[in-house]
Structure 1
C-alpha cells in the first residue's frame, strides 16, 4: 500500500513539473482541466461542471494532457537538462567543500560566483 502511495505521489510531482515547463503547449481545455484536477484536487465531476464537458470528456482531456507532456519532454528534454544541471551543481559544491582547505581564496571566490549564477538559472521560472 505504501508503495502505491509513493508511486502516486512521484507521478503527481513528475506531472506537475512537466506541466510547469510545458503546460503552455497544451490546449486551453487541457490546461484548465489539468489545473483544476491535478493542482486544485477537484474531482472529475467538479471539473466537468466547471468546463462544461462530460466526466468522460474530462478524463480523456487529462489523459491526452499527460501523454502530451511526456511526449514533449521526450523530444525536448528540458526537464532532464534541469535535473542534470542540479546534479552537477550539487557535485561541484560537494567537491569544493571536500577540498576547501587546499584551494586558493581567489579560486573559491570565482567558483562561488559561478555556483551562484548556476543557482539563479535553476531558480528561474520556466
Structure 2
C-alpha cells in the first residue's frame, strides 16, 4: 500500500472515530454528509446530487465538519483518553496471560477487563448508566 493510500486510510479511520465520539455535536447536515461520505462511501457527486448542491459545496461541508470534529477533540480529548484506556486494557490482558494462576482467577480478571472495555464503549455512546454493569 502506497503512502498516499495509507494516509487516506488513517485519515478515514480517525474521522470515523472522532465521528463516534462527537456526532451529536455536529449539525444534522454535517452528520448526514459525513455518514454518506465516510460510512456509505458515496462520491462527492452522489452527495451533491442528493442535496442539490455543487461538488465543491459538498467538499467544503466535509472539510468544515472534519475541522469541527478536530476542534472538539482538541478541547475534550475523548478519543485520546479512549485510546490510552484501550492500551492499558491490552497491557492488562497480556499481563494476566503471563501470570501463573489458576484458570478460575484468570477468567475472573479477564472478565473484569472485558467489563472495563464494554463500559468505555457504552460511555462513548453517552449512556447515563454506562458504569452500572461494572458492579457485576
Q: Distance in 1 between matches of 2:2 and 2:103?
A: 48
Query: Between Structure 1 and Structure 2, which shows a larger proportion of helix residues?
Result: 1
Q: Measure how far apart 1:110 and its partner are.
A: 4.8
TM-score normalised per structure 2: 0.79
Q: Which sections of structure 2, spanning at least 5 residues, go unmatched?
A: 126-136
The Cα RMSD (Å) is 2.1
Q: Distance in 2 between matches of 1:47 and 1:107?
A: 53
Q: Whose relative contact order is higher, 1 or 2, with alpha carbons under 8 Å and at least 6 apart? A: 1
Residue matched to 2:132: none
Are 1:29 and 1:51, in contact at CA under 8 Å, matched by a contact in 2?
no
Residue matched to 2:115: 117
TM-score normalised per structure 1: 0.85
Cα deviation 1:69-110 (Å, max 9, x = unaligned): 0110111111111111111011011111112x2x47786465
Three-state SS of the structure 2 residue aligned to 1:114 is helix
Which sits farther off after the overlay, 11-20 or 110-119?
110-119
Number of residue-to-residue matches in the alignment: 124
Q: Distance in 2 between matches of 1:89 and 1:36?
A: 33
